[in-house]
Amino acid sequence: MDFFERQRQVKRMSFRLILLYVLAVLAIVVVVCLAVAFALGAFEAPAAELAWLMFWTAVLTGGSILLASLFRTIGLRAGGGKVARDLGGVLVPEDTTDLRLRRLRNVVEEVALASGVPVPEVYVLEDEQGINAFAAGWSPADAAIAVTRGALDRLNRDELQGVIAHEFSHVLNGDMRINIRLIGLLFGILFLAIMGRTFLYAGAFGGRERRDNQGSNPLPLIGIALIVAGSVGVFAGRLIQASVSRQREYLADASAVQFTRQTSGIAGALKKIGGLETGSRMATPKIDEVGHMLFGPARLRSLFATHPPLADRIRALEPGFDPAQLTALAQQWRAAPPSGLAEDAAMGLSLTEHGGPLPGQDTRMAVRPDAVAASVGAPQQPAYQRAESILERFPPEVLARARRGDTAPGLLFGLLLSEQPEVRDSQLSALRERHGESIVADTVAAAGWLAGLHPLLRLPLGQLCFPALRAHPAATRQDLLGTIDVLARADGRVSVFEYALSRLLHRDLYEATYETPPWPTRKRSLATCRNAIASLLAVLARAGHPDEASADHAYHVGLAMILPGQPVPMTAPQHGVLALDGAWPLLDGLAPRDKSLLIQAVVAVISEDGTMTVAEQELTRTVCGMLHCPLPPLTALPA
């Protein structure tokens, strides 16, 4: 199952989730109406009076559930970080020097670079000693990864890598959006039970005067009815959680193995959950809301478990696994619990792995359109090794500045600083006018550190800077994006790299603020996007083939792949890569399978000769990124 098929499944699952929620709400409304009518003796009243009572009871009950769900969902609009903080999560500083926290951030950064998505916020649940983790957010741009203190202390690097890769699978597959939406829906159903307890308390302790004056007090009965109705709703919610979560865990486990190319990491983490007394249990009282999104079950037993049995998950990874091993591990660890850092030291692992050298700057990479499309949202182990290589190649001072909110902007500006004296002077003058003298000094210093930077490191540097930029207020982010645009246009033209960096940062920062793309999301067909597709392919053909004849040939190769039998002549784009701005709102609305075809056509145009330069790789990743199809670093063998 590839990325595009999973996207279709996520959309179907979203529809099913809403349908099940509506059915649950209707069932609760019916139960409450009947219970209230019985409590008030309304069945003996005239039919009109009974109907009036039923109507308003249904309105109040259904309205309460929907408003509670809406209130909770709005409260989560701040993204994955909000969920993590609600559970007691503490943000891990980008520049932390704590060994465990640094190891965690390194692993998260590597997996993000290898996945082709922005680096998420990272949190630690300090009060949770069980081994657990989750990913939360409305989109990759506002995602957060959280791990428990138990996971941080007990897991070695391979195991931590496996858990993080598992959670990134949920980020890439779109599971996070369903998970965070489900939190809001479950809260609405649970809200009835809370109201029921309030009514019951008021009737038992605050209704004495009412009983003396009227001889009876319906509040306790109404409270009991609401508790029962709320329990029915929670029961339905558990069924929904289980149906949404269980099979996705197997898929995420398999994706983590595919990514890291070894089963010992994630299988080892699962074994530690089974062998340690704390397991994956969590103490937070909000566990009912978030149980479906955790790496491991937060409770020992549950009638409607959100996760498959632990032994079954391990056996799926290691077919010869014997559950009796967990008993032996439990006895071994009871006296001396494992330490992740100690195991790393015993295996000779440092905070980072070694991914090998990057290809030469002039190397052309051999690619196939179908292979590139198949790698979308499905990073493989070579992509992880490439990410390790990327992190190793950055000078320490560059990494340190990329991780700080006050120095990351200057680093990005330094990437765009021209080597031509007159253009450079114009850029520095614009910087001085927009941000002051201090940012000019930061930018000049950054440009010196970045001189000769390998082209494959430029877009990843933007990814690494993203968490620091996201921490700024929205107005500051907008100023930074405006400055990037000014610097890119200072010489009267926009290069492929300048376009890629500015557009990807703009999209990610916009979605981190508003949880939606910078354009209306509407479903589109290939037929309605015909002109936008032609414009995109023409821009790419011109960018990769300066010779008019070869550009025209490449354009028609891609056009035949995506729009067979529809001859559309190539029109030279007047504004170069900037002509792509008008295409994204249309093309992002294509169905998943149509996006797959479009990406294959894009690769066919860019790599008409079967190879790609570094600039062409940047352009390909930009196209995929703007279409919300995360593309890992291309790692084909040199041609």
Q: Which residues form the catalytic set?
A: 167
Cα 427 to Cα 414: distance, rounded to the nearest angstrom: 10
466 within 8 A of 119, measured Cβ to Cβ: yes
CA distances from 600 to 296, 349, 588, 618 (A): 37, 39, 15, 16
CA distances from 187 to 88, 237, 242, 576 (A): 18, 10, 16, 50
Which pairing describes strands 144-148 and 133-136: parallel, antiparallel, or unpaired?
Answer: antiparallel
The SS3 of residue 611 is strand
592-593-599-601 Cα dihedral, nearest 10 degrees:
-150
Environment class of 195 (CB within 10 Å of its CB; exposed 0-12, middle 13-18, buried 19+)? buried
Which pairing describes strands 121-125 and 144-148: parallel, antiparallel, or unpaired?
Answer: parallel
Helix axes 421-435, 474-488, angle to 10 degrees: 160
Cα 57 to Cα 611: distance, rounded to the nearest angstrom: 67
- Neighbouring residues of 550: CB distance < 8 A, sequence distance ≥ 6: 608
- Neighbouring residues of 185: CB distance < 8 A, sequence distance ≥ 6: 17, 21, 69, 73, 237, 240
Phi-psi label, residue 116: left if phi above 0, alpha if psi -120 to 50, beta otherwise: left
Nearest of 199, 205, 193 to residue 235 by alpha carbon: 193
Residue 123 pairs in a beta bridge with 91, 146
Backbone phi and psi for residue 134, each to the nearest 5 degrees, phi listed first: -160, 160
Give the amino acid at 383. A
Q: For the chain, first and last CA: distance in Å?
A: 29
Cα 133 to Cα 374: distance, rounded to the nearest angstrom: 28
Backbone phi and psi for residue 146, each to the nearest 5 degrees, phi listed first: -125, 140
599 within 8 A of 375, measured Cβ to Cβ: no
- Neighbouring residues of 335: CB distance < 8 A, sequence distance ≥ 6: none
Residue with tokens 């701040």, as numbered in its chain:
78
The continuous run of DSSP H or E covering 406 comes out as none
Neighbouring C-beta atoms of residue 175, cutoff 10 Å:
24
Nearest of 473, 490, 391 to residue 433 by alpha carbon: 490
